[in-house]
Structure 1
């Protein structure tokens, strides 16, 4: 694909020619352009000289809030169990949490270099597209759009729903009705999609509020645990490395730890909407990852101070068990904290992941309507609605976690490929402007670690990986029919255009414009 489709170190040149977005043949009619009456009469609908495009509205604090809020979801409240089971000891568990944080920081720094070199939203999709071309980028987009993103959103939303309802069903023999959980999951997804469709500032405010709430909840856990230690309860830290495991078990422990740190790359999905991305993108990453690592390590120290290894391994929700043992009548604080944390995580996913669909459509690899923007609200309304629709579809899948397991290898393969693209560009295009240039060993170490995770995950779950590979391969015929094949029948092109124009009129959406 032509390199000009992705902007390089120029924040004002991140938009492709909107007249060609998604066009299969040159004779396709131009996109519908709403009239002044369609746009409404409000004075703020279209200020003079204000192009219809995603606005640069995210400052440094918003970037930090987004990364911290997306990382701290359900993982820190649920993953300590799986990490301990596979690490085998308290000491080795703490090593896993620290190393996972350092590994995530290295990856985030690599993405900081990529994000300030290739100033395009879309994260690893845009980086792979620029470095390796259209087909590899589409395969990543295909799997991410269909499986990884919507299933991840649904799982986090279902966790929110469970912990909202759980206090009303305190008896373990009487779990919350499944239908209640699924309905509340749909409500959560729909509500946050509406907020993101209505206003980006609203969405960032929601993110800021719930990020503060979840950090405060973890501070309650940390302070309580440290007080417990100061009272002399250090018995769980005796012989910290006794019964430690190695080999594939440690690899699985790292999978659990890295799951809790997942989403450190989400700000890169919104690069074009960051104010002064050269400064704010790297600073947001540089502040967020060390902060989250410190919070995670201290939270685990608190867990191990209060709970024995056996109690922790037998718990399905470590934070809830922690609260029941330490807070007594106030134990309800913990399920409420998990619910707030996951609610903020879903909002962050809506805000960032929808931009992947938007960019994919802008590059002509998804229907062109997905790259359009609501005229008044300046939000990518079609991609947000599509994200919500797919996530709601997965609410009715019985074993949704299994679907996500199929593609754990693909997640690390895609992120590793993006950083491999960073290494390739260092060699192929050494003169590219790079406001940030890391020591070459950092991306090399990160790519090697990603390959290790892919290989060890394949060894640990070969059948899941095989199923994931087979589903991924379905992207190849879709690519050749939908993207590579340009001379489609005119009836098909006309039908696509008619549907696009209808949706434009319903939602008052148009292709993104360039700045004046």
Structure 2
């Protein structure tokens, strides 16, 4: 067994850091969200502005966290920031929420989505959804266990591969598209369908598509130059994603009339590709979507285990010495991977046996609501750190301080308030799930205090 002082080796350079951000953010949203954002926005102009505003708010959040992360450079990301700024109790609740509630739920959602995509693509029986999704999960898990190098390679390849069909649609759409980009107005059509035109909800839809930007911070301790590369990777990665999101929407508006965009719903990108490339177009998009989700899943398997690993190093988990175990052969956090795998299998099993109760998609969505409380606490933490370290030189300072941190706070508040209004029951369930971590904290602290006092 390794000592408490052993840490994961720094193997992540700037390029891989950027692909982790891009790869964990860009999942299915880039392919399926244009229609829903347009429906909420009412016009193509406002839809594009929604994507831009969402990108700006995400960039403000990323750069704010980057300043915090440049000062707290150890593995663990949001958990480490909250613990160091607010203490072990709040740090534990952050790590608990990410490890027990959000992480396994979103991984299971991706597993099931992958299974559905692959079975549909090859016209297989629905029986194969679970085996195929689980098989891809086990392959990616193996890559992450046998070495960070292999996980990094998968992340780099899938991120570049998922951008190919996107840029193909963008380039050929802008050249050959026959529709106008600006001035599409579907407000009356939406209202006739008893829909709601609300720019705020359009921005909210984009913010969920941008979610995942913070996951790189969980691997800060494995970055070669975290103080320099974390802020730069945040800037490059989030700006890249924003450009991708805006350009794919511009291309879709250039290819299809707005009424068609609404009617095709989640299949709008596939239809746009079909218009451009014929029958093979939809297959290209579907392959791109499959690769995209594989990259997103790999990014989650890379980053989520670092949270229980960091918690175990701080003796804030039961069985900490096992959870923080690092393989001598592979130099990866095998104990933390085992924890995340067990929790993932548990949620997957429950979602199969009781699909109406344990809906992984819904669980991951409502948990984001709670996570944004911790995001906002970290944003406020920047002001606390500035006060505590007044006069000290910083490796990175967020530009336009305090405007960007305030924008980040407003973006987080916007998501929290909208969730409370639109889904008070889900928000309540998420809060109950969070509070369930409090007794576990006290039991863990009491046990570890007794152990370490001997």
User: One fold, TM greater than 0.5?
Assistant: yes
Kept in 1: contact 2:119–2:125 (CA 8 A): no
Q: Distance in 2 between matches of 1:82 and 1:239?
A: 15
Deviations 1:281-340 (A, max 9, x none): 222122111111111101011112223333323323332232233322213111111001
1:45 maps to which residue?
none
**Unmatched 5+ stretches in structure 2:** none
Alpha-carbon spacing, 1:320–1:388, altered in 2? closer, same or farther (3 Å): farther
Counting matched residue pairs gives 434
Counterparts of 1:209-220 in structure 2, within 5 Å, are 209-220=157-168
Match 1:308 to one of 233, 241, 257: 257
3-state secondary structure, aligned to 2:326: strand
- Aligned residue among 369, 373, 377 for 1:417: 377
Structure 2 Cα separation of the partners of residues 157 and 256 of structure 1: 22
Q: Displacement, 1:184?
A: 1.2
Offset from partner CA, 1:153-183 (integer Å, 9 cap, x none) = 22123222222222223xxxxxx54331111
**Separation in structure 1 between the aligned mates of residue 315 and residue 294 of structure 2, nearest angstrom:** 32
Residue 294 (structure 1) aligns with: 243
1:264 alignment partner, SS class: coil
Q: CA deviation at 1:485?
A: 5.1
Alignment of 1:51-70 (within 5 A): 53-70=7-24
TM-score for both structures, normalised by structure 1: 0.79
Instruction: State which of 104, 109, 131 in structure 1 corresponds to 2:63.
Output: 109
Looking at structure 2, the residues matched to 241 and 442 of structure 1 have their Cα atoms a distance apart, in angstroms, of 33
Q: 2:339 aligns with which of 383, 386, 402?
A: 386
Contact 1:77 1:318 in 2 (8 A): yes
Alpha-carbon offset, residue 432 of structure 1: 5.1
| 2:322 matches 1:322 | no
Aligned-pair distance for 1:268?
0.8
What's the Cα RMSD here? 2.3
Counterpart in the other structure of 1:35: none
* Preserved contact between residue 186 and residue 258 of structure 2 (Cα < 8 Å): no
- What is the aligned partner in structure 1 of residue 316 from structure 2? 365
Native 8 Å contact 1:153 1:349 kept in 2: yes
Q: Quick one: structure 1 residues 485 and 251, their matched pair in 2 at CA, closer, same or farther if it must change by over 3 Å?
A: farther
Find the partner of 1:159 among 97, 113, 131: 113
The structure with the larger Rg is 1
Aligned to 1:341: 292
1:226 is matched with 174
Q: Which protein has the bigger helix share?
A: 2
CA distance in 1, matches of 2:99, 2:324: 14
Q: Deviations over 1:459-483 (max 9, x none)?
A: 1111111111112111111111122
What are the Cα deviations for residues 235-284 of structure 1, in whole angstroms up to 9, with x where unaligned? x6335585599999433322321122111112111111111222222221
Q: For the residues of structure 2 that align with 1:356 and 1:186, how far apart are their CA atoms?
A: 23
Alignment partner of 1:264 out of 213, 217, 221: 213
1:115-166 deviation line (CA, Å, top 9, x unaligned):
1111112111111101111111111111211111111122123222222222
Between the aligned partners of 1:422 and 1:481, the Cα distance in structure 2 is: 31
Q: When the two structures are superposed, what TM-score results if normalisation uses the length of structure 2?
A: 0.89
Equivalent of 2:420, from 458, 469, 480?
Answer: 458
Residue 190 to residue 327, structure 1, CA distance change in 2 (3 Å): same
Match for residue 52 of structure 2? 98
* Alpha-carbon offset, residue 393 of structure 1: 2.8
Matches within 5 A, 1:3-82: 53-82=7-36
| Whole-angstrom CA distance in 1 between matches of 2:104 and 2:114 | 15
Q: Does 1:402 align with 2:330?
A: no
Q: What are the ranges of 5 or more consecutive residues in structure 1 without an aligned counterpart?
A: 1-17, 22-50, 170-175, 494-516
Residue matched to 2:199: 250
